[in-house]
Each structure stands twice: as C-alpha cells, then as structure tokens.
Amino acid sequence: MTAATNFLAVDLGASSGRVMLGRWDGVRFDIQELHRFPNQPVTIHSHIHWDVLRLWHEIKAGMARYAARFDAPLAGIGVDTWGVDFALLDRAGRLLGNPYTYRDTRTDGILARVFARVPRQDVFARTGIQIMSINTLCQLMSMAGDPQLDGAATLLTMPDLFHYWLTGNKVVEYTNATTTQMYDPRKRGWATDLLDRLGLPTRILPPIVEPGALLGEVLPDVASEVGLRAPAPVIVPASHDTASAVAAIPALDERSAYISSGTWSLVGVETPQPILSDAALALNVTNEGGVGGTIRLLKNVAGLWLMQESQRQWQREGTAYSWEELLAQAELAEPFRGLIDPDAEDFLHAGDIPALVRAFCRNTGQPIPESVGAVVRCCLESLALKYRWVIEALERVANVRIETIRIVGGGGQNQLLCQFTADACGRLVVAGPVEATALGNVMVQAIATGHLPDIAAGRRAIAASVSQRSFEPAARGAWDVAFGRFVDLLVV
C-alpha cells in the first residue's frame, strides 16, 4: 500500500482559523483538523483590527502539532484567508501596525471620494470587481495622509503576509489580488493606471504569482521553533478562501451555480473570461480569479454573519443559544412574517442584529419578528430569496441556465437553509463538501507537486472522498409570493 502524502492547509476565516492536515493516498483525500482557534478582531479607539500576531502564533502552534504527531515530511504547506484586507510593511519588512478589518467604519462614505476622481463605470471596466466600500481600493483611499501608508514599502494581502513570515518572500497570489479592486483581469496585472488616477501608490505592490507557485521552504528559525525535522515547501494555494472552495466543488459545470456559504455567501458561476458588460455593472457583480485560468463571476451576499452576530447579541443579553437550538426555533416559527434585504447597510457592522432586523421590518411596514425563532427564520428566508434573485440575475448576465445549486462550506451543514434555498430557487441543491476550502487548498498543492494532473482530476478525487446531500425543491407557490414581496424591499 502506498504511503499517504501529507500537506498542511492553513485556513483562516473571519471568525476562526484551522490548521488542517490533508492526506492524499493516490485515490482520495482525507482531511483532519490539527488545531482550531478563534479569530477575534480587537477594537482600539473605535477602530477594528485583526490580531495578526496572535494568528501567526496559532499557525505555528498547528505546525508544531503536526511535527509532534507525524514523522513524515510535509509535501507542502499553504495559507488561505478571506479577501480584501491587507498589511503594510516598511522597507525592512516590518509590520506597520495591525491590519484593519473590512468591517471597520473608516471606509464609510468613501465611494463618493473614489467616484469624484474616477467614475464608477471606469472603476468596474478596469477591474471587473463589485463596487463595495470594503474593497482594498477603498481602504487605501481612506488612508490618504496616513503615516502608515506614506511609510509603506510593501502591501501584502492577508494570506501573503503569513506566506512572507513563513518564507521571507513577498508576493501576492493571483486569486486574492483580484479581490482588491486593483487588478486588471484583461492585462492580468495590477491596474496601475487606475491607481495613478486615484493618487494611490503603486510602488507598494509586489509581484503576482499563480496558484500552485512554489514560494520556498519554511525558514530555518520557524522550522526549528515548531519542530519540523525536514524541509517543508511552502506552496501558494488559491489563497482567497472562496477560490479554494470553488476549486473543490465536485461536478461544477456550466449548468451549476455555487454558493460558498460561511460568514459571507459568495453566489456565482464559473466562466472562462471576465464579463465586463453594462449588465454586469448594473448587477454589481464581481469577476474574481479562479484556479486553472477560470473566472469566478459572483456576487457577495451577507451570509451566516446575520445568525452569528445575532447569536452573539443574545449571548450578551444572557442566553447562549446553540446553532441547533436557533434552527429548531426557526423551523417552528411562522413563515414569511417579515423579510429583510440581507445586504442593506444596516447589517454590515457588528451590533444588535435582532434589533436591526425588527427595525427594518417596522420601517418597511411588515409584521415585526419578535421571538428568537422568528428573527432567525426571517434571516434564513431572506438569504434564500436573495440567492434566488442573484442566481436569476447571473443567468441573464452570463447567458446560462442554472439547473443545480452547489453549496459548500459551513452553511452546507445548515439543512434548514439548504431546503429554503431549494424551495426559493426551485432548483436541486447539492450540499458538500463542508471542508471545501481546505480540500481546495490541499488539492492545488497536490497538483503543484505532480500528484494530480489538473483541477478536473482533483475534483473527481474530492467527489470520491466526501459525502454530499441533495435537497429537492418544494412549496413553490408560497415562495413565489414571498419573492414578489422580497424584490420590493431590495436595496440594489
């Protein structure tokens, strides 16, 4: 029997991180969690930052757990994270302050300043990225006159910061570069002319590398600290977590849409080329880079954040509900009592989401969801209806017909949301794999090391490695009526 080949996937999300062991036996992947840790932003003087030094400590702790448990050398290690956020380094490669989170209020109102210099349609034409104040472009615009930006020598997106600390090499990986709204998908490089028009420094932008690039080996001091006994190559995966998740979706084809479901829901289709049409601009979609030369045509939708932040609010009020308890109460609540636009600005920042949900319903003349179950059901039904609205719009923009919706990530475990999605959209929903991001990370590493020939073979291997669950649509009439109500509430 052939010995398994071992890879480490460091997968950092907006609320937690994991160091995952991915084992390839020549036929299937096996994923094990070695180390899980919280990713808790820190507020300082009303601004919200990522605690990147704590995250770096936890990454090394996960590597140490591997070294303590396994003698086999690592075939690769790669990091993926959320997009748009970044770190600034000085000329000596030192961190210039803790990076801000995309939910920080410093970008409130910033789009008006951007469009005063470069029209909205020009920004989209150059980058193909959804217009959102959280994008890296807007974050940099908010730093005009900031000493950190003035003194910066290098910008690294979040996974690239950790790759730099692992190897000493400063690069930005392609899929994450595309999330910044500073990348030109047609010339496949930084949109330096756009940045010049906005007065943003281009000197801080490092080289871009493709998924699967060998960045180097783990630095000797890091390897010694964590106990690695053999050189460990650092292989850049699709370092944007959604890109890794989409790469891992079995049977994703031209008749499938995907939903990468976590704190955010990324709803999209895979296309061979970016779509930069007027219709795409009007829909405010995004053209992000994928693995194997693909484009992820998608729209960001507020995802399980609504439930996560509601859960935190109820805990602050004295009741710690489990996810199972919240979903059980939602299932018993009255259907379609009130609906929200999950992407209304009301819900972007941390706070009392249940109160904001009630206020939205009150202000739009709807019955107010008072109970815990009613609030959760309102959020889940509204998410499912927003998925329908986005998928129908993507069909028009990309000129495709979607028959199957493939849900990956943690939201695939939320059976109530999966069934609501099938019912609202009137299409088959296939959920799984839950660990799509880690699987995609490991799969790209395995392609880079020659253990797999390409992404198609990788997706077949993942299909053989995981279980999936199907949800057939039902109760269409009630959902069609609710959809008509929902569209009238949208803040497009």
Burial class (CB in 10 A: 0-12, 13-18, 19+), 91: exposed
H-helix or E-strand spanning residue 287:
strand 286-289
DSSP labels for 316-341?
HTT----HHHHHHHHHHSPTTS----
C-beta separation of 452 from 446 below 8 A: yes
Dist CA 434 CA 429 (whole Å): 14
Residue 148 Cα distances to 142, 173, 401, angstroms: 12, 23, 48
Smallest Cα–Cα separation from 232: which of 4, 8, 3?
8
**85, 104, 160, 241: which one is catalytic?**
241
Annotated catalytic residue 488: no
Contacts of 429 (CB under 8 A, 6+ apart): 404, 405, 406, 407, 418, 419, 421, 422, 470, 471, 473
Which positions ≥6 away from 187 have C-beta within 8 Å? none
- Please, is 220 exposed, middle or buried when counting C-beta atoms within 10 Å of its C-beta (0-12, 13-18, 19+)? exposed
Catalytic annotation, residues: 241
